[in-house]
Amino acid sequence: MKTGIIGATGYAGQQLVSLLANHPAVTIDFLVSNSYVNQEYSDVYKNFRNRINKKFISIDKVDEYLPSTDIIFVAIPHGKSMHIIPKFLKAGIKVVDFGADYRLKSQSTYEKWYNLEHASPHFLEAAVYGLPELHKADISSAQLIANPGCYPTASILSIAPLAKDKLIDPTSIIIDAKSGVSGAGRSLNTATLYGEANETLKAYSLITHRHTPEIAQELSNLYQDDVSVLFAPHLVPMNRGILTTCYAKLNQPYTEAKLFEMYENFYSTHPFIRISKELPETRWVRNTNFCDISLRVDTSTNRVIVVSAIDNLMKGAASQAVHNMNIMCGFDETLGLSQISFLP
């Protein structure tokens, strides 16, 4: 498969380059970055020295590569991909979009939360939300994948079995999520400078975080009714990782053993979900495509607490994109994704 990456110098983009460079069925044909045109990739990320020496091209040079390209990954901020992706789709190329432009099925919801007019809303219905544990069949025949956000990936996977079987009150879901600073991207931002983010913990974008409607959309589809979500994101002083703690009121008493059995059955055919009695930690999923999940039942309040951990740059972005590519292209879904977390 010949592939191109647009936005190859962001944190998620460079993680994707690393995965594709080691993927046995992929050749990286072009890398796009308007900031580094004609510079070698290894000049920007020196860990790729003697591995990826390809020079960046500008976005206006991509047309020259389209006739021989099989799949394009677009890893640029929301609001930009919707202007360039339609051209690739019309050329018959498969696309995996890291951004939010095609995640929400409702044009009005997108425009409300992102404060942008959607430039290509006619592709919203055709786009498949790229969470393989929920949409594998649709992904296998899709041309356009909307790669999920990092927070929604962990949050949706935590609650999905409960929503599918309608075991919880759909108005009671609270998600407390904590992310490493790489989730904010590589661009200069005062809030993520070392002196600002180190040795402190803070909540941000309460009530207004743009991943909220994405989570609500997918959980509502599973529940087959409207689900409301109270989402509280936090920034923690670590490079990568997301830990979510999700709370919901059970519709009737269930034992922990019963819920663990249900989760095991729900994810039994999905190789990157690990259900464990031990509470997850971000270090056990770092640099992997795994999502670790555990739960507890508080019998005094009849509430369930579900905890999950992912690597925001991997399962929350790049490795999930490769997972989607594998399914789209008919490869074994685990191909090129055998990484084990490294310590310390």
3-class DSSP state for residue 13? helix
Active site residue 291: no
Assess whether the previous peptide bond of 344 is cis (omega < 30° from 0): yes
List, in sequence order, every residue forming a beta bridge with 244; answer none if it has no partner: 177, 308
Does residue 326 contact residue 138 with C-beta atoms inside 8 Å?
no
Does residue 106 contact residue 114 with C-beta atoms inside 8 Å?
no
Radius of gyration of the chain (CA): 20
Dihedral sign, Cα of residue 161, residue 163, residue 166, residue 167: positive
Distance, C-alpha 296 to centroid of its chain: 25
Token code pair at residue 16: 């994707």
Token code pair at residue 61: 């040079």
Helix %, strand %, coil % of the chain (to 5):
35, 20, 45
Any idea what DSSP says for residue 251?
S
Closest C-alpha to 307, from 266, 286, 277, 272: 277
How are strands ordered across the β-sheet holding 303-310? 202-203, 229-235, 173-179, 242-249, 303-310, 291-298, 273-275
Catalytic residue among 150, 246, 291, 329: 150
Catalytic residue numbers read 150
